[in-house]
Amino acid sequence: MYVEIDVDKIKKDFQKNLSRALSIGYPLKYAIAKALSWTLMKYPWVQEIYYSEISLGEFVEGEDIDGRDVDVLIKTSIPSTNISRSIEQQLEDTLNTVLQELGLCPSNGHNIVELHIDDIYARCASEATLNGRTPHNAILLYKSGTATFKNLEKETPMWTKP
């Protein structure tokens, strides 16, 4: 299977989608995950995308990312873990570069976005969804065949600012 990603296009789309997610009113960490899901859902090899907080067991808590990362779990149709790892690294580097350029993460080498492509976390979340359970500590952002850009534009935030 040949998997192609255009890093420049992903960078441009992610910037645009992040601006859109923040203008809707999403907290920063969730906005980053949501923007990534809107960016990657166009690729046919992407099957499911989840937002998660793996290390702390927390969900969206607000604007302060304070050194904590944004975990995004991605289930794909890519048959090789070697390809998945390569894409994972390319995407992580690209997304973190965008966030550094926008001043949304420190330039001290700490990456804010941490992707989990076809790893144990992504498989567990996907299995839970498949079996009709709510994945522990993960929010489904995209499932292949169930979302389009058109209906996502009508989406309203789950959180309102006081």
pLDDT in tens, 5-22: 889 999 999 999 999 999
Q: Which residues of the chain carry a pLDDT beneath 50?
A: 56-67, 148-154, 156-162
Within 10 Å of residue 29's Cβ, how many Cβ atoms?
Answer: 24
Within 10 Å of residue 9's Cβ, how many Cβ atoms?
Answer: 11
Contacts of 76 (CB under 8 A, 6+ apart): 45, 46, 47, 84, 117, 118
- The token pair that represents 23 in the structure block: 């203008």
Q: Where are the alpha helices (DSSP H) in the chain?
A: 7-24, 28-40, 81-101, 120-130, 149-153
- The token pair that represents 77 in the structure block: 């149709």
